[in-house]
Amino acid sequence: MNPIRYVSTRGAQAPLAFKDAVMTGLARDGGLLIPTRIPDVSGKLEEWKDLDYPDLAFEIIRLFTDDLPGDRLRELIERAYSTFAHPDVAPVRKVGGIHILELFHGPTLAFKDIALQFLGRLFEEILEERQGRLNILAATSGDTGSAAICGVRGQERIHIFVMHPHGRVSPLQERQMTSVLDANVFNLAVKGSFDDCQLIMKTLFSDLPFKDAHALGTVNSVNWARVLSQIVYYFYAAFRVFEETGAAHLQFSVPTGNFGDILAGWYAKQMGLPVRRLILATNENDILARFFNTGVYAKGQVVPTVNPSMDIQVASNFERWLYYKAGQDPRKVARLMTQFAMEGRMEIPRDAKGLVDREIVAGASDTKHTLDTIKRYHEKFNYLLDPHTAAGVFVAEQYNELDDPMVCLATAHPAKFPDAIEDATGQDIARHPMLDALKNAKTRCEVIDNSAEAVKTYLAARAR
């Protein structure tokens, strides 16, 4: 069988091997890189069901790369997941009538660690092999920044520049990023929203002479390696739940703002994992929930909420899913994305595949429902949900009419959002020693104008 290559959703990027796709990040035509085929692993599920997390990650990731020797890939994976506090990496817990997939046991207490601990080591491997350098430009709505910084801090061949929306991430999320004082780490607080940060990033990547001159790379979920790494925990969770329940299918509820986390679940389903459906949960910034209920993808104003990592109105990974729903026609995708960029709106007919077969259903949880869910699960089950996970649990409950087990992704440790937990429970109980230690830590950050030119000037002066 021909090896998998990576092509752009917009069709104007020459096919790339895996390592080149990782280093390219955003495709040169402004699209996102996707694999030329999706492997069918339905015949391997029985063989894989008892594997531990690193071994399962190896089996899945190696299907998508033929230019990274197996022994090197296995070593990178083992090093990445040795940093996790729980021996299972991503344990599954039964809480009431649902299963919680805990993705917050990594070094920064967020699900982003699962991809970024691996990606940081992958960057290091490729740069060492090629004697190269890399300037990472990232945009974060909260957790990506600290996880990315943790993945590459101190690396000789990398500088990382992380933009976050000034005043719009939680104080602890900000401190996790800005207290890292390594010389290769630069934090920028942009006077705008996360969507503004993401637009600046895409603008600089679209400036090909600048991108090439400064060897720009990305750790955001526009980088295929991020999505690939996240596919693994859907299989891992499914195997544990199937063993416990004897079920043949299951459902996943995913709190998401940028569509990357639920897209990984969609790829797992296409690969043959018996997922009945995926349940997409948003907060008041509900562009994705509105789309899956109406077929209209229309941008609104970003509203600050208690779950800031979902305060997004332009979900970059949506373009990958759109590619498949547009019949894998890159010209159609480019046309739709250009329309959205100009008008802030696009519409896919209600009879498009995916809106009729309901493989993704969606709902939103506002602040009241999110806080009520945190309070209810704490009182009833003595289990603390962070506000993003609580949104996913609330929406899951609205769709829990099937007999299939429900797995809710827990995307962050509740201690990262102590104010929301206290608002919900009336108690200051969301603590973690790692975060407590940050309270008096020295920080470094630069507030910068909401302008691509301002960020370009800053980066050019400090790039590797």
Q: Does residue 57 belong to any structural domain of this protein? A: no
The range of the structural domain enclosing residue 424 comes to: 92-106+224-432
Q: Residue-wise pLDDT tens for the chain (464 aa)?
A: 788 999 999 999 999 999 999 999 999 999 999 999 999 999 999 999 999 999 999 999 999 999 999 999 999 999 999 999 999 999 999 999 999 999 999 999 999 999 999 999 999 999 999 999 999 999 988 778 899 999 999 999 999 999 999 998 888 889 999 999 999 999 999 999 988 998 999 999 999 999 999 999 999 889 999 999 999 999 999 999 999 999 999 999 999 988 999 999 999 999 999 999 999 999 999 999 999 998 999 998 888 999 988 988 889 899 999 999 999 999 999 999 999 999 999 998 655 554 445 789 999 999 999 999 999 999 999 999 999 999 999 999 999 888 999 999 999 999 999 999 999 999 999 999 999 998 889 999 999 999 999 999 999 999 97
Q: Does residue 247 belong to any structural domain of this protein? A: yes
Residue with tokens 């390696």: 225
Active-site choice (19, 112, 299, 353): 112
Q: Does residue 243 belong to any structural domain of this protein? A: yes
Question: What CATH number corresponds to the domain at position 428?
Answer: 3.40.50.1100
Q: Does residue 327 belong to any structural domain of this protein? A: yes
Say whether 439 is catalytic: no
How many domains does the structure of the chain reveal? 1
Q: Does residue 62 belong to any structural domain of this protein? A: no
Q: Does residue 250 belong to any structural domain of this protein? A: yes
The pair of three-digit structure tokens given for residue 194, joined into one six-digit string? 């996360």
Q: Does residue 42 belong to any structural domain of this protein? A: no
Q: Does residue 253 belong to any structural domain of this protein? A: yes
